[in-house]
Chains A and B, each alone.
Chain A
């Protein structure tokens, strides 16, 4: 069965420090992969997506993610975190031909220290 694992439930980084959020997926073929961010009390906003091609994808707000097929991973990175990045981050996989549904990981809560 398809699944997404985000090993880190909660991460705290200092403002200005670099960030990496981990995501591993289980899927039989090349998946469509997404990262979403949820600010407190808000809906989900798409940060970036991977469909095919270049395995390093750029997103909004200075985020990037790298697809590594050999590791079944799609980790999210940001070189310098801002206090406004504090939020919940969700990795998701979109199985092909399953009606467009997204399967989400359990989320990683990011806290930013001043």
Chain B
């Protein structure tokens, strides 16, 4: 009964290859995210989808293409892998943000275990 799962956990590949990372959440959340954690452990948002619609694209190279076949899945496809793509990629999800008087509340994000990508 894993909440947010990612496959594979480890991915080792050669430069120039194309690879995909899959993410699934069984929490019934509407919004899903991809984050990249670099070698210095710095976490940065890459993409966000809400109900299969792209809502955040943080100046990520277009070699990275997220795909959301349904709101429970957000996959990340990477073309022409480069050395600098080596990192840990985290998927996350969050429930719908509810409105409150004076502003919206902000739901926390639930993270998957991460996929460690190594490009040789």
What is A's interface to B at a CB cutoff of 8 Å?
A: 32, 34, 36, 38, 42-46, 49, 51, 88, 90, 94, 96-104, 106-107
B108 touches A96 (CB 8 A): no
Residue B27 is within 8 A (CB to CB) of chain A in the complex: no
User: B4: which A residues are within 8 A, CB to CB?
Assistant: 43
Q: How far is the CA of A106 from the CA of B31 in the complex (A)?
A: 24
For chain B, the count of residues having a C-beta within 8 Å of the partner chain is: 30
A100 touches B106 (CB 8 A): yes
A101 touches B45 (CB 8 A): yes
User: A97: which B residues are within 8 A, CB to CB?
Assistant: 104
Q: How far is the CA of A44 from the CA of B45 in the complex (A)?
A: 14
A106-B41 contact, Cβ under 8 Å, with A46-B108, A99-B55, A101-B56: yes
Residue B69 is within 8 A (CB to CB) of chain A in the complex: no
A104 touches B42 (CB 8 A): yes
A-B contact pairs, 25 of them (CB 8 A): A32-B106, A34-B108, A36-B111, A43-B4, A43-B112, A44-B92, A46-B110, A94-B106, A96-B104, A97-B104, A98-B56, A99-B50, A99-B55, A99-B56, A100-B31, A100-B56, A100-B107, A101-B48, A101-B56, A102-B43, A102-B45, A103-B45, A104-B42, A106-B41, A107-B43
User: B66: which A residues are within 8 A, CB to CB?
Assistant: none
Q: Mark B83-113, 1 if CB is under 8 A from A, else 0.
A: 0000000101010010000011111111111
A43 touches B108 (CB 8 A): no
User: A102: which B residues are within 8 A, CB to CB?
Assistant: 43, 45, 109
A104 touches B48 (CB 8 A): no
A51-B106 contact, Cβ under 8 Å, with A101-B45, A106-B41: yes
A107 touches B41 (CB 8 A): yes
B104 touches A107 (CB 8 A): no
B33 touches A104 (CB 8 A): no
| Nearest CB on A from B93, distance (A) | 10
